[in-house]
């Protein structure tokens, strides 16, 4: 894949890194002048200090870091952030504190992971009927345990 062009908006911003050779997501880092306190049950915008050029035909998906989410209760407030290829502003991560204790995020801390993925942009067409399947309109839990 072609390199992703990244602009540092702040000198102390940290470029995304992969935790291992086979990692799907690149870690995003907090870019803070002072520690950020997130009380239990609240959300806070965490800047990365970075802007990027996501390739056309792709999107950047921001996911939780499993360790931060499981151990500290901090995860993206919108569950998965979607960054369109034409966005050129700062990448921000809105972390929500799902725990019952105040959490502090420090500069340079890994706060989320970014996955670059291809996207399809189909045209949606209104029709009177859809093709038949075995499942049909069976909803939640309809395919078994």
Per-residue confidence (pLDDT) for residue 37, from 0 to 100:
98
Per-residue confidence (pLDDT) for residue 145, from 0 to 100:
64
Per-residue confidence (pLDDT) for residue 138, from 0 to 100:
63
Per-residue confidence (pLDDT) for residue 144, from 0 to 100:
65
Query: What are the extents of the domains in the chain?
Result: 5-118
Looking at the structure, give the CATH architecture of the domain made up of residues 5-118. Answer: Distorted Sandwich (2.70)
Per-residue confidence (pLDDT) for residue 142, from 0 to 100:
61
SS3 content of the chain, % helix, strand, coil (to 5): 5, 35, 60
d(CA 127, CA 145): 33
Per-residue confidence (pLDDT) for residue 38, from 0 to 100:
98
Per-residue confidence (pLDDT) for residue 131, from 0 to 100:
92
d(CA 17, CA 1): 16
Per-residue confidence (pLDDT) for residue 25, from 0 to 100:
97
What is the mean predicted confidence (pLDDT) over 48-66? 97
pLDDT tens by residue, 88-122:
999 999 999 999 999 999 999 999 999 999 999 99
Q: Where are the beta strands (DSSP E) in the chain?
A: 5-8, 17-18, 26-29, 36-38, 43-47, 50-53, 58-63, 74-76, 81-84, 92-97, 103-105, 110-118
pLDDT tens by residue, 60-86:
999 999 989 999 999 999 999 999 999
Closest CA to 5 of 114, 99, 88: 88
pTM listed for this prediction = 0.89
Q: Are 61 and 113 in contact (CB under 8 A)?
A: no
């Amino acid at each position: 894949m072609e390199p992703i062009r990244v602009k540092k908006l702040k000198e102390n911003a940290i470029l995304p890194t992969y935790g291992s050779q086979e990692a799907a997501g690149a870690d995003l880092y907090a870019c803070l002048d002072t520690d950020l306190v997130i009380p239990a049950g609240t959300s806070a915008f965490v800047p990365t200090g970075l802007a990027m050029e996501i390739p056309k035909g792709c999107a950047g998906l921001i996911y939780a870091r499993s360790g931060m989410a499981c151990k500290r209760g901090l995860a993206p407030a919108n569950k998965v952030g979607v960054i369109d290829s034409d966005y050129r502003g700062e990448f921000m991560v809105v972390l929500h504190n799902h725990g019952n204790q105040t959490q502090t995020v420090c500069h340079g801390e890994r706060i989320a992971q970014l996955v670059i993925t291809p996207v399809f942009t189909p045209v949606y067409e209104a029709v009177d009927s859809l093709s038949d399947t075995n499942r049909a309109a069976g909803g939640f839990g309809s395919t078994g345990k």
